[in-house]
Structure 1
């Protein structure tokens, strides 16, 4: 039997359907992988006996012809998504013993199709960062080089999928938290159009920006999970690369790239162009001032309202004050602590973000797409590859020290603020640490973007 690292989600389901493997046999592979790769610290909660129980149930359902679309598929789920089978802690001290009474909406969707929630994954504390260097639960490590970060905040899910511990998993994305770790770990990470998936039962940052998102090793598996999570019966259409019209942004996205990122993305663009894709230079010059006026005002204003509401509903014994007191990661403590006093984000800035800047951003973005006839825009997911664990404040980029968080989210943040779908694919020909290339589409055009991504993946894997 092939090891778990060699089987993707859709392929596993095909083998289960054909009787070539049982859910219980596959579960044994996962137990071995989790034991052998424990140094990655990708898993926050895992119970081999519980996994075996779930796998037996899946095999019984299959034997009776009663299994759903994902019957027997084990997934790893980020530790800020409510699960009744395992605690949901957000990677923070005050919630370490909290097991919710109800599953998050996205978990109910997966369980409704008989998927198995196999484990919870490590993450950046409260999802407020991109390194997954968590002072409470320990640093998650990149499977390509364990001295490096996996990205975040969904670093545990990305590391577990990249290392072959699980075939696929679920993260969350507020400013890039599925796409950034996908890029740094060499897997596929998808942020859907905001509102496409259920948002209830997730430890929040911002209801305007938060969304769950799948991570996997191929686009086929992302599409499989998207169909279940969205409730849409969407068939991935065949896209001819010659029909791809891709916008290449002139500003910001390609600025000051690490040479290896520049080389990997440019080679990928040349491969797409050689396959027939049309690359169009486009400009979003006027969008960036609006993006800056939107991004942090919305996050800081909403977290101070959304987080207490979550605690009241799902962890009523924990107050916001007690939660803040037990934050262990200095970067997270500083970010949330800044909103407790006179420097808290004013309502006026929040209302301007929502009522003025976001509509302006969306109009600029949509006008560029329509004027240029674009299927998507394409750009490096991150300006740099994975850096050493512990560099939470600054990292080196082209000989200069730059701030860690804003540098890593620079290219992913805009899509989050617009609420549009984005998918990061690995640049396959890169040696050493992975490099990601991202495709962003129009709001609501998720199925088309996934079809395009599958065609691009085929080109880039040649």
Structure 2
């Protein structure tokens, strides 16, 4: 079978693997097409490094296998991009910051290694908000540049995993890995019309679904996690199953599914975005989903007492631990901060160096975080709901600020809001609670900006949450590809 370029670019991860396993397309041909796509769309700044020779060599090895051997590889020949703060052998892990620009780790992060062992091919490293401290992916380092939304290159793609999201949305790669501390897989997924997953973290230990500690340039040991990103939830389920060894998916029917609508996360929305989100809810209700209004009155207040004390205190220890463990070229937070390119990230690191939240950290971890987790547990159990549903972000993509990296935004002409706080509002609570969250496309605003809906579930319900997401996406459908 001869595949056109457009047919190859349209393949989802699941479709691409099946075609390569069955010998209907050569992995080398597919990789070559995507490498050419990456080069042609380099102005989107989706990637910080392209693995041209390594990817083609890996594809040749896949093509040399027998059909039976390829079939035994669940990701045979699948090209993936890896966020540039996740350790990869032979490719830089710079976190898109100058101090780590030429650093190459000696080992792969466990999640990366599991993908490779299953037959996946690393196409390149994905651009990101510098050091993952932001939600725009407007990187001002000279070697990176701002990541641009493929639906409108003047707009942000969200962050901090913006490069992975753009590579997936722009058909440079069918899937990839990002990281999520406060919303960094889910926000860019929402703003680029793709799907992004934050797996369970819980209180660490056995509750943590992915185990990549000290293999990712960190922010917070409590909140950080790797997460898969793709164009469909089914593709995310494929990658999650490989990473965890748990590939089972429960049967889910929309009819009778009980979904909670948390009032605080449906308030204050941009009108154009809310119209899309409410329209999706109506379609789901018509298909039999039972929606339950839930109050959760203390949700945002509890979250605010946790976020900064955790995210700006834990790097004091976590960043040096990663630097020393991985034999990085610099060894201290001060060394990193001295060369930060983005003003918004420099401001965050000033707060880390001064450790301004040290006095609030114990209360955040021992009082407010348990209360937030209890609020979620009580809501799921007393309301007898399968998941919570709400808009992933309170507004759709906004213009790039290529001077500061992040600034202020307004919603329908209202008061100026801090851009990072505004985009984090709906995703951050699940992060602090350690529960799984999934963003999937809901539709487009009238002016062509993607809108995402997020599903949150109880800790450990990851596979059921993904199954619910698959059921939702089968009704809501994918977004049309961006015109590039």
TM-based fold match above 0.5? yes
The answer to whether 1:202 aligns with 2:207 is no
Is residue 313 from structure 1 mapped to residue 325 from structure 2 by the alignment?
Answer: yes
Alignment partner, residue 19 of structure 1: 23
Q: For residues 221 and 174 of structure 1, what CA distance do their matches in structure 2 show? A: 22
Q: Which residue of 2 aligns with 1:288?
A: 300
Q: Structure 1 243/117 Cα, relative in aligned 2: closer, same or farther at 3 Å?
A: same
For 2:272 and 2:251, how far apart are their aligned partners in 1? 31
| Structure 1 vs Structure 2 CA RMSD | 1.4
- 1:233-267 residue CA offsets vs partner (Å, 9 max, x unmatched): 32x2331111310101122x112211111001000
Task: Tell me the distance in 2 between the aligned counterparts of 1:441 and 1:365.
Answer: 9
Secondary structure in 2 aligned to 1:148?
coil
Q: How does 1:155-304 map to 2 (within 5 A)?
A: 155-194=162-201, 195-200=208-213, 201-234=215-248, 236-251=249-264, 253-304=265-316
Q: 1:450 aligns with which of 463, 466, 469?
A: 466
Q: Distance in 2 between matches of 1:231 and 1:169?
A: 18
Change (3 A) 1:124 1:429: closer
Query: What SS does the corresponding residue of 1:240 show, helix, strand or coil?
Result: coil
> Offset of 1:333 from its aligned partner?
0.4
Does the 8 A contact of 1:179 with 1:412 survive in 2?
A: yes
Q: CA deviation at 1:362?
A: 1.0
d(CA) in 1 for partners of 2:124, 2:66: 22
Residues 408-431 of structure 1: CA deviation (Å, up to 9, x unaligned): 000000000011111111113644
1:277-323 C-alpha deviation (Å, 9 max, x unpaired): 00001011123322111111011110111001001111343022221
How far residue 99 of structure 1 moved from its aligned partner, in angstroms, is 0.2
CA displacement, residues 343-389 of structure 1 (integer Å, 9 cap, x when unaligned) = 5222x411111111111111111111111110001000001111111
Does the 8 A contact of 1:98 with 1:315 survive in 2? Answer: no
Q: Helix, strand or coil for the counterpart of 1:284?
A: coil
Q: Secondary structure at the match of 1:280?
A: strand
Equivalent of residue 345 in structure 2, options 322, 328, 332: 332
SS in 2 for 1:98: coil
SS at match of 1:114: coil
Tell me if the contact between 1:294 and 1:354 (Cα under 8 Å) persists in the aligned partners.
Answer: yes
Going from structure 1 to structure 2, the CA distance change for 1:214 and 1:316 (only over 3 Å counts) comes to closer
**Counterpart position of 1:61:** 65
2:375 maps to 1:364: yes
Partner of 1:31: 35
Q: What corresponds to 1:70 in structure 2?
A: 75
Q: Give SS of 2:220's match.
A: coil
Shift of 1:93: 0.4
Task: Give me the whole-angstrom Cα distance separating, in 1, the residues matched to 2:419 and 2:226.
Answer: 23
TM-score where L is the length of structure 2: 0.92
TM-score after normalising by structure 1: 0.97
Q: 1:394 aligns with which of 385, 408, 412?
A: 408
Q: Does 1:406 align with 2:421?
A: yes
Aligned equivalents of 2:159, 2:247: Cα separation in 1: 30
| Residue-pair matches, total | 458
Checking the alignment, whether the CA contact within 8 Å between 2:258 and 2:385 is kept in structure 1 is: yes
Deviation at 1:64? 6.5
Counterpart of 2:390 (choices 379, 383, 387) is: 379
SS of alignment partner, residue 196 of structure 1: coil
Alignment of 1:42 with 2:46, yes or no, is yes
> Moved runs in structure 1, 4+ residues, more than 6 A?
none
CA distance in structure 2 between the partners assigned to 1:316 and 1:52 by the alignment: 28
Does the Cα contact within 8 Å between 1:106 and 1:197 map onto a contact in 2? Answer: yes
Q: Distance in 2 between matches of 1:269 and 1:203?
A: 38
Shift of the 446–397 alpha-carbon distance from structure 1 to 2, 3 Å rule, reads: same
Q: Deviations over 1:162-201 (max 9, x none)?
A: 0000000100000000000000000011111011011231
Residue 47 (structure 1) shift: 3.1
Worse-matched range after superposition: 438-447 or 57-66: 57-66
Change (3 A) 1:429 1:143: closer
- 2:9–2:34 CA contact under 8 A, matched in 1: no
Identify if the C-alpha distance between structure 1 residues 72 and 62 changes in structure 2 by more than 3 Å, giving closer, same or farther.
farther
- 1:157–1:170 contact (8 Å) kept in structure 2: yes
| Match status 1:349 vs 2:360 | yes
Residue 444 of structure 2 contacts residue 450 of structure 2 at CA under 8 Å; is this kept in 1?
Answer: no
The Cα of 1:330 is off from its aligned counterpart by 0.3
- Tell me, yes or no, if structure 1 residue 85 matches structure 2 residue 98: no
- Asked if the contact 1:238/1:455 (under 8 Å) is kept, the reply is no
Q: For residues 354 and 257 of structure 1, what CA distance do their matches in structure 2 show?
A: 30
Aligned to 2:481: none
Question: 1:308 & 1:7 partners in 2: Cα distance?
Answer: 41
